[in-house]
Structure 1
Amino acid sequence: MIKKLVLCASLATLSIGAQAVDYFAIDQVRVNDGPFAHAQNKNLEYVMTMSPDRLLAPYLREASLTPKTASYGNWENTGLDGHIGGHYVTSLSLAYAATGRDDVKQRLQYVLDELERAQNANGNGYLGGVPDSDKLWQEIAKGDIRADLFALNGYWVPWYNLHKIFAGLRDAYLYTGSEQAKRMMIKWADWVDDLVADLSDAQIEQMLTTEYGGMNETFADVYEITGDKKYLTLAKQFSHKKILNPLEQKRDELTGLHANTQIPKIVGFERVAQESGNDSWHQAAEYFWETVVNERSVAIGGNSVREHFHDKDDFDPMIEEIEGPETCNTYNMLKLTKLLYGRDTSLDYVSYYERALYNHILSSQHPDTGGLVYFTPMRPNHYRKYSETHQGMWCCVGSGIENHFKYGEFIYAHEDDDLLVNLYIPSTLNWEDKGVVLTQSTQFPDRSTTRLTFEKAGDVTLKLRYPQWATANAEVTVNDKEIAVDASAGQYIELDRDWQKGDVVELKLPMKTHLEALPDGSDYYAVMYGPIVLSAKTSPFKDEVLNYYSDASRMGHIADGERCPIEQAPMLVAKDTNFADRITRVSDDELRFKASELIQPESYQNVELIPFFRVHESRYMLYWPYSTPENINALREKRAAEEAANLALEAVTVDKVAPGEQQPESDHFFKGSESEAGVNFGRHWRHAHDWFSYQMNDPDGQARILQITYFGGDVGRHFFIEFNGKTLAEVTLGGEHGAEFYTVEYPIPEQMLALGSEGKHELKFVAAENSVAGGIYGVRLLSEMPDSTD
């Protein structure tokens, strides 16, 4: 049954059907002293430093109004114009709910007024910053749909972009009660309804080939808010059946897919299921969560390499590559987790939420500058880069400025009169309906004790989460009197009594170190203390100076500094893996550990292991190679041989593109006609029956050679490679290499290089008549031939 909208103080929350538990509104929970409060405050500084007029500029421009200033650069003026502005509306809405600050509410009101001015100028309900999009929407309305992985009719993920402002207006209503935002949201939703009115379900399905964010989720929310079934119909139409159908049948066909394109779709599947009562869609969402969390995620709770799901039986790319788990993925996985836990109070959901919150989300913010992280490499001895307020405008900045205002949303929940305590974070809950004010004080995770004090008491049953990571019996006292615990790890401890003002409940949860292997079982281990991933700062290169902050370039978020050879990384060495108890704590006040007896080489034996969320501006170890003493030399030699060719190639690489992978192609301004992409033997490819092109980067003028990777099974294809408008090579794939991948190097004449402009070169693959250009599995500009190639 659909429930009506429930207003809680200043925060409106959706009361979703089929719920087992209900959540408290963010303005009912205040996060107090501790790392999460610090992150929230730092995020507020960051957000309030951002220029609203620069973020608004794309919306005013597209409404034929004069912006008050130029828009931001980076992704904000290269095709994804306006996406951060949508996140900004959500961020301000969350910030006001989390803090109650008037200056935040005033900033939000200014932004909404300017957005409504743009919407009114458009005259049809449309609101967006997609550059020159009138032509696009006219084509879509007529059924002229040309969809690729990240380009719809040649525009960079326009629905993904527009979803951000759609969700922002929803959130301004839900979190602040703004009727203005609600009015704008409904007008915007009606514009979409009119736009696709003449499209068939098959045409919309074709359109959904291109990333579209969480459009289905937000339409389901609009249905909940309004009760108008046309929005539920739109939510179902904007649900990608190509992804849904295998999940309904419990088939994992995720390998090779762009991860964060899919996760918001699944969030939408679950919301549609909740609003429509479709249990099959709910089971599909559950299955997705289970396979991603249990088989495709690493210790910090993140997933994907170079933004894509890799083979779940082979985590080598996770260790080898520098583009590790993307913060946006975890942002969306937490959304999905919250929805699923709301229907089924399994503590598996809480365990994942806690792990991902501490180890990925909290760690993704620089504690001094508030800068935000895109990729978190798992590669030994690598590092991360942070955004600067007016520079990086990536997707993980947009989701990041939301993340650090949402810490209060999952600490507590309630089932009728039962008050569930799920996370041990310093906070104060004001449950007005029950007359309960509860303050939680804790120094978790440095200390494994939490104290809950009833500032106001009411008739409730207190249910304390007994985490699965607890290593011995939990201890509970009420007003210093020990209480028998009738529960096991993975359950709730129930305390049902006549609570009085001033009552104090104390919970002690013993923790110890343990190891967690990569999901594929290979010999790389994360060191954990309870739910906390421990990491070590490292300095493998003497006097190295790294730039930990991104510039404004399209790929500035990638930590592309020198890669340390994996065989030279510190290793955990012991006769077997039952050595976690030899990792010893060296401080009672905070989590600091030593593993001197286990780490080799000797130069690393004194490194300290500390929570990963405290590791910043440093190379680090997170996953440690493991070996027995007898095998260590052989293992190092094996890894050195495996890496030699790769490191040699990276050393002479000026720029590279992974064809068929979404972000690398968009960062190189992919264009094409009659072009397709896919995955073959775990490798992404692109080909075209007409042509496709990239803009290659050569800022220092070092490029001399073009290296292309082919697959020997693509027989009989005939095409031309053009470089800066001139034919570099005529290619016929003859099949002489068999069903193997291979590379070909093409020296680039100086006269062709000279045709480049401002460190950019145009690379184009053109099909011969009645043939195909490609498949192309890899593109690199090289400064010289490497010592060996693979």
Structure 2
Amino acid sequence: MIVTTRRMLLIGAAASAMLARSGAALAVPPVSRLPGRAKPLPLSAVRLLPSDYATAVEVNRGYLMRLVPDRLLHNFRLYAGLKPKGEVYGGWESDTIAGHTLGHYLSALALMHAQTGDAEACERANYIVDELALAQDKRGTGYVGALQRKRKDGTVVDGEEIFTEIIKGDIRSGGFDLNGAWSPLYTVHKLFAGLLDVQALCGNDKAMKVAIALGGYFERVFAALDEDQMQEVLACEYGGLNESFAEMYARTRDKRWLRIAERIYDHKVLDPLVAREDKLANFHANTQVPKLIGLARLHELTGKEFQRVAPRYFWETVTRHHSYVIGGNADREYFSAPDTIAEHITEQTCEHCNTYNMLKLTEHLFGWNPDGALFDYYERAHLNHVMAAQNPRTAGFSYMTPLMTGSAREYSQPGEDAFWCCVGTGMESHAKHGEAIFWEGDGMLFVNLYIPAEASWKARGAELTLDTNYPFEPETRLTFDRLAKPGRFPVALRIPGWAGSAATVAVNGKPFAVTPDRGYAVVERQWKQGDTVAIVTPLDLRIEATPGDAKTIAVMRGPMVLAGDLGTKESDFEGTDPAMVGTDLLAGFAPLAADRGIYSAKGVIRPGDLKFVPFYSQYDRRSAVYFKRFTEPEWKQEEAAFLAAQARAKDIAARSVDVMHLGEMQPERDHELTSEISYPVTYRGRNGRDARSGGFFEFDMKVQPGPLILQATYWGGERSRDFDILVDDVKVATQHLEEDEPGEFVDVEYRLPEALTEGKDRVRVKFIPHAKSSAGPVFGVRIFTAKPAVTT
């Protein structure tokens, strides 16, 4: 049995620190037996046994084999002056970000080969590399790519021409646009990453030759830029391009790649992290995570301290202060202020790419300094987010994983047009579920994830079986089916942080007492073939509060997030958000099928009882994940406030002359909406529209005689922006939105001069952003009659 909890160890450490400051005598703390470094067993040494993870890999394999390489290669050949062999795919592959999918696809094929041994996966990857080498040779510059560029006159051409402009100092950089191409260096990074994965996992050295030639091309591009110009370029999303150049250095030891890798450093984002400052709010989340992965890889090659500090601080900050209960982060793709998750529970939460990259970063950090807390996070995000991001019935991938009550997940429809970034990371994530289960370091074997698998451990000539139905059942058993080098060595089983002292360990069926060591039960003994070691972790329900808001809670069972089941996605959710009411909430839960993580909650949910199920499995159903917690008196007050808000809404509706539902096709047609550089949006269950700098949107609205009020609805916590509102080309207001406003929808009223509407039955309402700003999003516009003035 385990006799010390991690909390006890932390308390002891804190007490020791206090005694040290006071000068009191100290007992020497026990020295950790964990190694200073660790690495995962090769993916090719791990085979998954039947489980949801194994199913995800097989579903993904079918999807990968249905994709047509020649269609993904269309632009690579076309812009190299070669005749395409397949029709270009649609969606993002027909936009200026074209080509990013091929990089993801190369990585996914290489990973799939390593995970399953599928020879066809490498055959496809090798074919693609041959085609890329041919296109690269035809160009003769070292460049190879499919990205496109939209010129000022609207024509779409080969994206390579932007790099010619950049070399000359003509740099027009935005967050996602660089000289008319959509995140071009992000696309370049994905191609580099794919080539490097094919070399490593398929043994294709031609892939490295293509990567080196491509690296030489960008060496010349970057050499033409001074430091200010380089920072201008890096203001546009560049993925983990620094990681690719660092990896090229690691494999070739050519220092020119190291110099480039270290120069790809975004001071605006990375300097505060080096200084351990959280300035992440309003940064696009997935633009940043790969930068830290690249910095982590550089630290492994150079040993420079600042390259270690920033990734570790970033990881701690994101996981503790910016992450949702499922392990994902960001709302509408952006970080919010720390500990404000409760204000950002929307249908636009948790982009899959972010978590894909956070797990990669976690692996780097664990490799430097093994600690069970790192894999507590990894397990949470892997189970609850990554596994939710693939629909095993359709092989589709989600972009966002919405956590707003009643939201439905939207999955790609595998076919012609769904090639989002998260489709690409989905291809990779579900090709490698065995990659982080087993690790080794200084002769120690780590078991970090409890996923059914078989593995070969070369260091001991061992064949292992990890048998478990975790997280549905509490026991996981590791068996040494073969052990060519028996002897004394340690095996470290992760003790999840939530398990504490209730976890137990047994060797060959007999209890084995251990003292936790940085989140592990370390069993060191003479091992022989046939030996088993098992860990049993309790799977009790618990309540977990949201960072920054103890009144917003979720329900956990072991590592698994449970969700209230609100029905099929085909039926709209029109009810009120359920809340939890009472002082002992878990007393209302009872198992319906504990071996499948299914419970009923009775008497503690308002407005009615709910069934709770594993969140990740709600592929085609609506869920409630977060709940506001109330005492009975608080709930009565909440009900009263809700009824008052309804009464006000009914009063406004009764006085309405016209209502415009922005972002919805038929209302926008009915009101003759026209726009430029304007887009429909959906946020927190409401449709809307915005206009970017240089654009506008306008539409007709009915009016009637008498004093009228124009009302527009905004989100109160928007990032800073300014715009004008015109009625029949007369400015009636300038609106400023700011992030420090309340995190709720806000109705702003503008009284219309009667002279502006006199004698008219309709007016033209227009929203125009100020320069370098945006207008809205506006989540609906209403014109209603003003109440008569009250006289006394």
Instruction: Indicate the TM-score class for this superposition, using the shorter chain for normalisation.
Output: 0.7 to 0.9
Give, in angstroms, the shift of residue 98 of structure 1: 0.5
Q: CA 1:707 to 1:412, structure 2 compared with 1: closer, same or farther past 3 Å?
A: same
**Amino acid in the other structure paired with 2:630:** S
SS at match of 2:391: coil
**Paired amino acid for 2:80:** A
Aligned counterparts, 1:643-682, within 5 A: 652-655=660-663
Name which of structure 1's ranges 460-469 and 83-92 shifts more when overlaid on structure 2: 460-469
Flag structure 1 segments of 5+ consecutive residues without an equivalent.
1-17, 547-561, 658-666, 672-684, 722-726, 754-760, 767-771
Q: 1:743 to 1:456 in 2, by over 3 A?
A: farther
What is the alpha-carbon distance in structure 1 between the residues aligned to residue 71 and residue 57 of structure 2?
23
Match of 1:583 in 2: 589
Aligned twin of 1:98: 115
Contact 1:512–1:529 (8 Å) recurs in 2:
yes
Distance 1:149 1:765 in 2: 21
CA distance in 2, matches of 1:638, 1:289: 39
Deviation at 1:64, TM superposition (A): 2.1
CA shift, 1:317, in A, is: 3.9
Are residues 1:443 and 2:469 paired? yes
Deviations 1:28-53 (A, max 9, x none): 11111111111111111111112222
Distance in 1 separating the partners of 2:130 and 2:702 = 49
Q: 1:506 and 2:530 equivalent?
A: no
The separation in 1 between residues aligned to 2:723 and 2:781, in whole angstroms, is: 27
Gap change, CA 1:172 and 1:710, over 3 Å in 2: closer
Q: Is the 8 A contact 2:713 2:780 kept in 1?
A: no
| Structure 1 residues 200 and 580, CA gap change in structure 2 (3 angstroms) | same
Aligned residues of 2:38 and 2:439 also touching (Cα < 8 A): yes
Name the CA distance, whole Å, in 2 between partners of 1:128 and 1:642: 55
One-letter code of the match for 1:68?
K
Deviation of 1:55 after TM superposition, in Å, equals 1.3
Q: Secondary structure at the match of 2:44?
A: helix
Evaluate the alpha carbon distance shift between residue 668 and residue 179 of structure 1 in structure 2; reply closer, same or farther with a 3 A threshold: farther
Equivalent residue number for residue 608 of structure 1: 611
Moved more, 181-190 or 498-507: 498-507
Q: Shift in Å at residue 409 of structure 1?
A: 1.4
Give the aligned length. 696
Instruction: Name the SS of the counterpart of 1:369 in structure 2.
Output: coil
Contact 2:331 2:349 in 1 (8 A): yes
- TM-fit CA distance, 1:532: 0.7
The alignment partner of 1:626 has SS state of strand
Contact 2:472 2:595 in 1 (8 A): yes
Give the C-alpha shift of residue 442 in structure 1.
0.4
Matched, 1:130 2:147: yes
Correspondence for 2:43 among 26, 38, 59: 26
- Give the letter aligned to residue 141 of structure 1: I
* Change in CA separation of 1:776 and 1:736 when aligned onto 2, cut-off 3 Å: closer
- 1:219 matched to 2:245: yes
Q: Which of 45, 48, 56 does residue 65 from structure 2 map onto? A: 48
> 2:329 aligns to what?
303
Deviations 1:409-468 (A, max 9, x none): 111111121001111110111112320111101000110101111111134321111221
Matched, 1:633 2:636: yes
One-letter amino acid of the structure 2 residue matched with residue 340 of structure 1: L
Give the deviation of 1:732 after TM superposition.
Answer: 8.7
- Residue 316 of structure 2 is aligned to residue 294 of structure 1: no
Paired residue type of 1:279: E
Distance (whole Å) between structure 1 residues aligned to residue 95 and residue 711 of structure 2: 26
2:423 alignment partner AA = V
The 10-residue stretch of structure 1 (108-117 or 340-349) with the greater mean CA deviation from structure 2:
108-117
Which amino acid in 1 is paired with 2:61?
L
Task: Provide the rounded CA distance (Å) in 2 between the counterparts of 1:79 and 1:237.
Answer: 26
Q: Is the 8 A contact 1:474 1:485 kept in 2?
A: no
Residue matched to 1:323:
348
1:345 aligned residue: 370
**How far off is 1:91 after superposition?**
0.5
TM-score (norm 2): 0.80
* In 2: Cα distance, 1:735 partner to 1:569 partner: 31
* 1:729 paired residue number: 729
Deviations 1:570-602 (A, max 9, x none): 22110x3x4335423232432111211312223
Local SS of the residue matching 1:507: strand
Matching of residues 430-579 of structure 1 within 5 Å:
430-457=456-483, 458=485, 459=487, 460-487=489-516, 491-539=519-567, 545=570, 564=574, 568-574=576-582, 576=583, 578-579=584-585
Indicate the larger mover: 118-127 or 345-354. 118-127
Contact persistence 1:670–1:693 (CA under 8 A): yes
Is the contact made by 2:492 and 2:520 (CA closer than 8 Å) also made in structure 1?
A: yes
> What is the rounded CA distance, in whole Å, between the counterparts of 1:369 and 1:787 in structure 2?
50
What is the DSSP-based 3-state SS (H/G/I as helix, E as strand, rest coil) of the residue aligned with 1:349?
helix
TM-score after normalising by structure 1: 0.80
Inter-partner Cα distance in structure 2 for 1:787 and 1:779: 24
Distance in 1 (CA, whole Å) between partners of 2:431 and 2:737 is: 55
Q: Which residues of 2 match residues 410-425 of structure 1 at below 5 A?
A: 410-425=436-451
| Correspondent of 1:358 among 375, 378, 383 | 383
Deviations along 1:658-697, whole A, 9 cap, x unmatched?
Answer: xxxxxxxxx99679xxxxxxxxxxxxx9999xx6237x79
Quote the RMSD (CA, aligned, Å). Answer: 3.8
* Equivalence for 1:692: 694
Determine the C-alpha separation between the residues in 2 that align with 1:122 and 1:737: 49
TM-fit CA distance, 1:636: 3.5
Q: How far is the alpha carbon of 1:718 from its aligned partner?
A: 10
Is the contact between residue 62 and residue 130 of structure 1 (CA under 8 Å) also seen in structure 2? no
Structure 2 distance, partners of 1:252, 1:588, is 40
Tell me what 1:278 maps to.
304
SS at match of 1:254: coil
Amino acid of the residue matched to residue 598 of structure 1? V
Taking every aligned residue pair, what percent have the same amino acid on both sides? Answer: 32
Question: In structure 2, how many angstroms separate the alpha carbons of the residues matched to 1:102 and 1:220?
Answer: 29
- Partner of 2:544: helix, strand, or coil? strand
> Within 2, Cα distance between the matches of 1:134 and 1:49?
30
The answer for the alignment partner of 1:64 in structure 2 is 81
Seen in structure 2, the aligned counterparts of structure 1 residues 306 and 745 have a Cα distance that, compared at 3 Å, is farther
State the alpha-carbon separation in 2 of the partners of residues 743 and 154 from structure 1.
38
Task: Give the secondary structure class of the aligned counterpart of 2:662.
Answer: strand
Q: How do 1:357-396 and structure 2 match up within 5 A?
A: 357-390=382-415, 391-396=417-422
Contact 1:573 1:598 in 2 (8 A): yes
Per-residue deviation, 1:645: 7.1
Cα distance in structure 1, aligned partners of 2:354 and 2:784: 35
Instruction: Quote the offset at 1:19 in angstroms.
Output: 6.8
Report the secondary structure of 1:345's partner residue: coil
CA contact 2:544–2:556 (8 Å) conserved in 1: yes
Contact 2:110 2:202 in 1 (8 A): yes
Amino acid at match of 1:306: R
Contact 2:499-2:538 within 8 A present in 1 as well? yes
Alignment partners' CA distance in 2, 1:637 and 1:475: 49
Secondary structure in 2 matching 1:298: coil
Q: Which amino acid aligns with 2:586?
A: A
1:351 partner letter: D
SS at match of 2:555: strand
Q: Find the aligned partners of 2:107 and 2:761 in 1 and give their Cα distance.
A: 50
1:739-780 deviations in whole A, cap 9, x for unaligned?
A: 999577999999999xxxxxxx9x9958xxxxx637434144
Give the 3 Å change call, closer, same or farther, for CA 736–481 of structure 1 in structure 2.
Answer: closer
| One-letter amino acid matched to 1:474 | A
Please give the alpha-carbon distance, in whole angstroms, between the structure 2 residues aligned to 1:198 and 1:275.
26
Q: Distance in 1 between matches of 2:189 and 2:701?
A: 40
Q: Report the CA distance between 1:119 and its aligned residue.
A: 1.6
Query: 2:500 and 2:736 mapped to 1: Cα distance?
Result: 59
Q: Which structure is larger by alpha-carbon Rg, 1 or 2?
A: 2
Give the AA of the match of 1:477: A
In structure 2, the CA distance between the partners of 1:478 and 1:775, relative to structure 1 (3 Å rule), is closer
Distance of aligned partners of 1:589 and 1:764 in 2 relative to their CA distance in 1, 3 Å threshold: closer
Whether the 8 Å CA contact 1:654–1:697 is kept in 2: the answer is no
Q: How does 1:242-281 map to 2 (within 5 A)?
A: 242-281=268-307
Q: Given the superposition, is the C-alpha separation of residues 197 and 393 from structure 1 closer, same or farther in structure 2, using an over 3 Å criterion?
A: same
Structure 1 residues 702 and 52: alpha-carbon distance in aligned structure 2, compared to 1, 3 A threshold: farther
Q: 1:596 aligns with which of 602, 608, 611?
A: 602
